[in-house]
Structure formats: structure tokens, C-alpha cells
Amino acid sequence: MTSIQETSEKVAENVERVIIGKRQEVRLTLVALLCRGHLLIEDVPGTGKTMLAKAVARSLGCSFRRIQFTPDLLPSDVTGLSIYNQKTQEFEFRPGPIMAQVVLADEINRATPKTQSSLLECMEEHQATIDGTTYQMPEPFLVIATQNPIEYEGTFALPEAQLDRFMLRIRLGYPSPADEQTILDQQKITHPLDDLKEVLGLEDLRALQVAVREVYVDPSVADYIVRLVNATRTHPDVYLGASPRGSLALYRAGQALAALSGRDYVIPDDIKALAEAALAHRLIIKTSASMHDIDPRQVVAELLNTVPVDGARVAGADRRGAPADLAARAAAAKDGAAGSPAR
């Protein structure tokens, strides 16, 4: 896990040459990347959403395409279409911009629901069916989408099926005064994005994505994930809770965050750190609750305080309720699995 941590640290430092003072958000972006998940960046204009996506793409040895979503964008403009060639008298497929390893879906909520639906198969199954023929997406395949949650004129709310396909949703927020001063100084002559170099090759990225799957998840941690997600479905203020895809996203993201922290096992604090980014955008609040300004993030924060961690105890437990001997239990379980005879 040390190699994952060191390599990811290089990518994070490279991205932070452009995105100043947003360490946690950059780490969450790397979590989605290592898990083969998709990322939704939601914030007001000018906070660096597009710059973050471009910086990540330039740091990787992957093909990159950008789609500027507008109300008149058609599904064929995204996935591609077949064009009749008069010379060969055959139809030729012209792939769309979605056929790239890193795709920036800029202002995704400005496209119509018909166009947004063209992304459903691509994001979930890594393939696109066009004119009865199925085309596979390149690997790795990552969609980084941006949207403005403030301006509603000329926008279309993302359907639940579309939101559910994003592993994580992050918000950048405004920089601190000191960080904003640094941004002004950096861009006095040129933009730091222009000088950004590739720091991680394609094969290395694939190797990291495979290695992350080997991070150990204790059954008590998996049970905690299930109970936390189930609690979103029974909360009195929630109309629609998180799906099983949300449980899997939290599970995979926990593995990646543990690897980024230099551990080969997941602890409950990893799950708590990721819960808002992985679950909040999957919840639909009841109308009666939204009238009282109840926010999905508030619901997730409440559940983190009320859903107990299995095996937590007063003696030897940390202040968040995570068992202090979880690391020992994880190591013992792994050693037992490695030493057991094959059946």
C-alpha cells in the first residue's frame, strides 16, 4: 500500500499546483479515480471545477475529451453516429467524445434529459449501443462532470438514475484569502495548467486500480456500511434512500481511501469520512422536510452520529466509536486466511 500512497501523493501534488488549498477535494477525486468511479463536481462558477478536471486529466497518461453540454446537444453528439460513405457505399461509425478515457462533462445539467440518458449505459456498463451495435469504452474510463447548483435558468435537474451513477459528489467552495492571494500570484503571467506534466502512466494507473481491490475490509466494517445505507431508507425525512449501488460505492471508496492513507485495511473512520460524498447526492428529501430546510448532508451527518459501529466499546475505543483493535483484527483475519489450507 506504500507504493499506492506514494504514487497518489505525486498526482495530488501535481494537481495542487493548479488547485490551491483543496487537499481534501483532490484526495476524493483520486479516490474516485482509483475505484473506477465517476465524479460530480458541484459548485458556483469560478471555483475551479473545470480546472480540477483538466489538471487530473493532464496528470494522467490517458486520452481526454471535453463535452460542453447545452440544451441543443443531441445524444449522437455524445456517443457518436453512423455516417453513410458514398465511396464505399457502407455506413461508417464516427465515435463521439464519450469514447475517451477521461471525459469532462462540463455543465452537465444544461443538457436535456434525452441527452443525459445517453450517458447511463456508458457510465454503468462502460459501453454504448448505437444503431444496434455495442461499442466498448476504453479502459480506464472516468467521467468528471460539473454543474452549477445556483443557476436554474436553462438547466435540467439530473435524474436520480444519473446521479446514482456518480460514485462521489464533491464541492470545492471558495478559497481562503491566503490561498486566493497565491492564485493571483501564480497567474500573474501564465496559468499553471499550461506547464502541468504527466506524472502517472496508463499502465501504472491500471496497476493501482487493481491493487486497491486487494485492500481488506473487515466484516464489521461491511456491516456498518450496510446499516448506514439502510438507515437512509428508513429516515423520516427521506423520501428515497441510497441504493445498493451506494453501498458498493462506499465500500470501494473506503478501500481507496485506506490505500491513500498507507493502510491495507479499512477502518470505520474511512467510511465516515466518505459518507457525505458517497451518499448525500443519492437521497431525495421529502417535501415536508425540505420546507424546513432539511438537507441531505444534514441527514447523513445525523446518521453518522446515531448509527453505531459494530463491536464498539467504551474501553479502548476512540472518540468516534471505532474499535481500537480493528487493525489487529484485520491483520489476524488476513494471516488466518493466508495460512489456512486450500480446499
Q: What domains are defined for the chain?
A: 1-212 (3.40.50.300), 213-337 (1.10.8.80)
Structure-block grid coordinates of residue 330: 484485520
* Across 212-231, average pLDDT: 93
Higher pLDDT residue, 224 or 328?
A: 224
The rounded mean pLDDT for the chain is 84
Look at residues 13, 62, 27, 7 and name the one whose alpha carbon lies nearest to residue 192: 13
Q: Percentage of residues in the chain with pLDDT exceeding 70?
A: 89
- Which tens digit of pLDDT belongs to each residue from 230-268? 999 998 888 888 999 999 999 999 999 999 998 989 999
* Across 182-203, average pLDDT: 86
Residue 324's pLDDT band, with cuts at 50, 70 and 90, is very low
One DSSP character per residue, 122-183 reads HHHHSEEEETTEEEEPPSS-EEEEEE-SS--TT--PPPHHHHTT-SEEE---PPPHHHHHHH
Q: Answer whether 0.85 is exceeded by the pTM.
A: no
* Alpha carbon distance 243, 75 (integer Å): 26
* Across 300-315, average pLDDT: 75
Helix (H, G, I), strand (E, B) or coil at 39: strand
One DSSP character per residue, 287-343 reads HHHHTTT--HHHHHHHHHHHSPPTT--STTB-TT--BTTHHHHHHHHHHHHHHSPP-
- Which tens digit of pLDDT belongs to each residue from 28-67? 999 999 999 999 998 888 888 888 888 888 888 788 899 9
Q: At residue 6, does pLDDT exceed 70?
A: yes
Strand partners, 160: none
The pLDDT assigned to 330 comes to 52
* Across 119-130, average pLDDT: 89
